[in-house]
Structure 1
Amino acid sequence: MRLSTLYQLKQPLFSLASTVILGVLVHTAGYGQGNPAATPSGTQPAPTPSAAVTADSLTFDFNQDISVQLIPFEDMFKLALAYSPTIKFEAAVAAGTQASYNLSKVQILQNLTGYANYSSGNQAILSTGTNANDQLAQISNGYRYGVNVAFSIHELFGRPQQIRLAKANYDATIERKRLAEIQLRRDLFNLYQDLLLAQKILQIRLRDDQASLAAYRIAEVELQKGKIAPEAHAFNSNRYAETRATVEQAKTSFIKAIYALELFVGVPIRQLKRV
């Protein structure tokens, strides 16, 4: 029975096969997020999607490499640096440790104080004479100003260590910020490559889907003419259903990759498209 079926599938149907295959090749239909998936219905399988993928009202030319449709990777990385919460957090921590370091260098000035005062009136009690006009009676009158300086042993030996500690903390936050930038670049590159891979896989799945659709339609016509057994038609129908499922999975992965890149960079996907 199986040999008979295979023999019947190999029978030339030049006019019919060429018409069906030509119709499949010239058929195009756009699809995108939210479009219903094409599935076999009765004797009229749904058309195969191709040509373009629409995401967030932005259409990418599916037949063109998406890497040439997006802005350069370095520009994308600059946007990610500007909008990344992790980088902003590390920058704020670095600014705080820098302020602490600068404060530790001038904190010694707290031991230096100045004063100024003014006094007037009869303060003869401070004088040893009885003459009211005695100049000694006015010894405590007038302006006074000066500077007080006091140093402790801790300031002499402990202050340099505190400055070194603040400097080390500041250097550590700078290096941690650089590490966060490196991690950001690596994660962005991985997402970018995942998007390119998702597009290539989807293109391969679509070509396989078109071939399966052509075989399904040919087998359907041959079944109606009694040239093949129902088992052969069921095999082609199952093969087409499997390819349709893989196409939908590949399409979902592609759209997920687009939006993952959008969320990671932090700007709408339309801003990532090359003008």
Structure 2
Amino acid sequence: MKYMKQLVVFMLGIILFSTSAKAQPDSVLLDPKIDIVTLLPTLDSMYEIAKSVNPTLKQELAAMRSNQWTERYTRWMWAQNISVFYNYSFGSLPFFAYTDPTKPLGAGLVQVKEGYRAGVNIQLSVFDVMGHRGRVNAEKEKVILQKYKRDAEAMELKRKLGAFYADMIGYDRLYQGRNEDYLMQLVACQVAEKEYKEGTIHISEYSRQKNVLADAEAAYHESFRFYLGSLEQFEAILGVPLHTIMIRPKSPN
């Protein structure tokens, strides 16, 4: 029982450690004081990462390789009508005969009814001869078609990645601005509250400052929602968690 408790405590420690390790980079990504552009690699680098893990591109690449193997197989389909044989035959009917010149005429015919045979059997139809090149060319075109499809998917991935990246950067800037505005209004409201308690301003002015603070807080939370949504969408199209490719922010001197 004692060992079981120790094991449970150990497992909980591992879970808490992994959670805290992941929460730390995530909190950096959500910090409004840090520009997300400084935390991530260049867009071209992230595009290469997205291409390497994108399942659709992997599927198109596998289909292209499959068509390449089919083309190679089709090139040699004519060889299925060619067979090489080597066997031992025997029976009542001769399969080979020749004349022995050392024996008298009429008695020199030698019939071989058993023995080893070897040879090559070739059977090619007109369709195989005339249609082989067409089948090979058709498989070549399938390979080219699959390559174009993969290139189109790569271009679409780059377009989506760029669009989501622009949205994420834009909402991050909005999030930073709303955060600064909210902090300024928070200080202004604290000053107004102090002045109201001292009797230097009317309650209407204090109420106005509270309303401005409420609007700033609502705008801040809305900008955070937009930024978080764009962050998750970009991470989904990228294919890997952002904290795994994040550049460590430079510590201030």
Aligned residues: 219
- Kindly indicate which of the two structures has a greater share of residues assigned to helix: 2
Report what 2:66 is aligned to.
96
In structure 2, the CA distance between the partners of 1:177 and 1:205, relative to structure 1 (3 Å rule), is: same
Q: Is 1:244 the counterpart of 2:225 in the alignment?
A: no
- Residue in 1 that maps onto 2:17: none
Q: Hey, what does 2:56 align to over in structure 1? A: 86
| Residues 121, 97 of structure 1: alpha-carbon distance in 2 compared, 3 angstrom cutoff | closer
Distance in 1 separating the partners of 2:197 and 2:22: 40
Q: Residue 102 of structure 2 aligns with which residue?
A: none
Report the TM-score, using the length of structure 1 for normalisation: 0.69
1:92 Cα offset (Å): 1.2
- Within the candidate set 56, 73, 86, 2:23 is matched to 56
Change over 3 Å in CA distance of 1:135–1:115 after alignment to 2: farther
Query: Structure 2 CA distance, aligned partners of 1:264 and 1:183?
Result: 11
Q: How does 1:1-275 map to 2 (within 5 A)?
A: 56-58=23-25, 59-60=28-29, 62-119=32-89, 139-275=112-248
* Deviation of the 1:244 alpha carbon: 0.4
CA contact (8 A) 1:220 1:233 kept: yes
CA RMSD in angstroms comes to 3.1
CA distance, structure 2, for counterparts of residue 68 and residue 251 of structure 1: 19
Cα deviation code 1:77-117 (max 9, x no counterpart): 22211211111111111111112222221111112122221
TM-score for the superposition, normalised by structure 2? 0.75
Amino acid at match of 2:35: D
Structure 1 spans left out of the alignment, 5+ residues: 1-53, 128-133
- SS at 2:237's partner residue? helix
Structure 2 gap segments, 5+ residues each: 1-20, 98-106, 249-253
Q: 2: CA distance between counterparts of 1:192 and 1:109?
A: 54
| One-letter amino acid matched to 1:56 | A
Q: CA deviation at 1:240?
A: 0.8
SS in structure 2 at match of 1:234: helix
- Residue pair 1:123, 1:137 contacting (<8 A) in 2 also: no
- Encode CA deviations 1:172-231: one digit per residue, 9 max, x unaligned: 000100111111112112222222112211111112112322332232233333444433
